[in-house]
Amino acid sequence: MGFLMCKEDNGLGCLMKNSASVELDSYFPVRHQRQEDVPKTRFKPRVGKTLSPRRWNAAFSQDGQLDIAGVLRRIQRGGIHPSIKGAVWEFLLGCYDPNSTFEERNEIRQRRREQYAAWKTECKEMAPVIGSGKFITAAIITDDGQPIIETSVNGNLPDDFGGKPSDNGSADKRVIQWKRSLHQIGLDVVRTDRILVFYETEKNQAKLWDILAVYSWFDGDIGYVQGMNDICSPMVILLDDEADAFWCFERAMRRLRENFRCSTTSVGVQSQLSTLAQIIKTIDPKLHQHLEELDGGEYLFAFRMLMVLFRREFSFVDSLYLWEVMWAMEYNPNMYLLYEEPNSSCQNGSQKINNKLLKLYGKFERKNVQTGWTEQKTALAVFVVASVLETKNKRLLKEAKGLDDVVQILGELTGNMDVKKAVKGALKIHKKYLSKAKKS
């Protein structure tokens, strides 16, 4: 009894009217015994604000072109109704061009599904457990590429489930690295969104595992890093088809992957953290100084917020709401082309920006374009963290005498934040920052 059954439900009008969170739970049911532990969900679909299934269907022309401006307006005001989140996300994340037709999109979808299947086959040849409906939680290979025999698998598998050692004995470094990450993915999958009924089944866990395993092969530069599971999990729930979920995740990772780039000296997200420091220093120098004095100038306490986009600070439903509002605000009509043809001339600068075109941008991105602030791409999420810090500004200045106090004060945010207010505050800070940065 999950979300996908409800997808077929056409009597959604009543849901919109009653807009009770009880009904939200039927989309993303929470395990009975765990209902107490979950942060309260604040999101409610609201008539006239939330993008409803009816509005969504009406936003397409006969051959399938999407009125993206109208859709963005709605999402920025009140999020997306749970029954259509998956389909809308595909556009928000740039899987498809809103100007394409139904037919063109079907073609692309088909092509992508085939591509995913090909990569999955490639992975299966190296590790036959891929796609078997099972997955592993213990290492199958040592650092130097020797297979480990005693391995715990969820269920029984043939002996060579981890793949045979390579013929020449000197297995490719990339293959070893990838195989070394498979059990880590498994260890995380069994701990991902455990409160949701959806992940009670091994089948759904294996789906998440497969997608992460294939992704980390395909994006070998980044590989698998803890936290990707939190980003991928909603896609698996929202999109029925595994390949579609993969591509939605892949598009989300286009924005986020630099955060997950690990070197011997740092984790990628730290560059967002230094931007955060820069922003706070500009708009609230007193707070920045205070944090620096507490040895918190690196802003590591905000690490998790940026890495998994507030998944831990909000309930499941509310974090999806936050994501879609952020993505709508960051929407750039050239995204699809930039992703598909990175070398195309369709860069921001080369286009004449008129008012009609500006409507196709999300609020946040529009501001960037208007002020010519397109070189330095700072994610809206960084401004959201800044706005969250600002709401605690007085207490941080007054009560925090150590980094532990900072974390304690910020920890109280969990389950007590409002998506709308946080994003509104972020846009305000963004505006202030742009004007200050311009002056200096």
* Residues at the site binding another protein, with contacts judged by CB under 8 A: 34, 37-39, 137-139, 152, 184, 187-188, 191-195, 223, 225-227, 229-230, 262-267, 289-290, 293-295, 298, 300, 303-304, 307-308, 311-313, 315-316, 397-399, 401-402, 404-405, 407-408, 411-412, 414-415
Q: How far is the CB of 192 from another protein (least distance, A)?
A: 7
Q: Which is nearer to another protein, 98 or 296 (CB)?
A: 296
Q: Which is nearer to another protein, 100 or 319 (CB)?
A: 319
Q: Which is nearer to another protein, 46 or 304 (CB)?
A: 304
Q: How far is the CB of 232 from another protein (least distance, A)?
A: 13
Q: Which is nearer to another protein, 41 or 334 (CB)?
A: 41
Q: Which is nearer to another protein, 92 or 277 (CB)?
A: 277
Q: Which is nearer to another protein, 312 or 438 (CB)?
A: 312
Q: What distance in Å separates the CA atoms of residue 205 and residue 227, rounded to the nearest whole number?
A: 16
Q: Which is nearer to another protein, 77 or 290 (CB)?
A: 290
Q: How far is the CB of 53 from another protein (least distance, A)?
A: 28
Q: How far is the CB of 433 from another protein (least distance, A)?
A: 24
Q: What distance in Å separates the CA atoms of residue 59 and residue 43, rounded to the nearest whole number?
A: 23
Q: How far is the CB of 415 from another protein (least distance, A)?
A: 6
Q: How far is the CB of 413 from another protein (least distance, A)?
A: 8
Q: How far is the CB of 404 from another protein (least distance, A)?
A: 4
Q: How far is the CB of 265 from another protein (least distance, A)?
A: 6
Q: Which is nearer to another protein, 126 or 273 (CB)?
A: 273
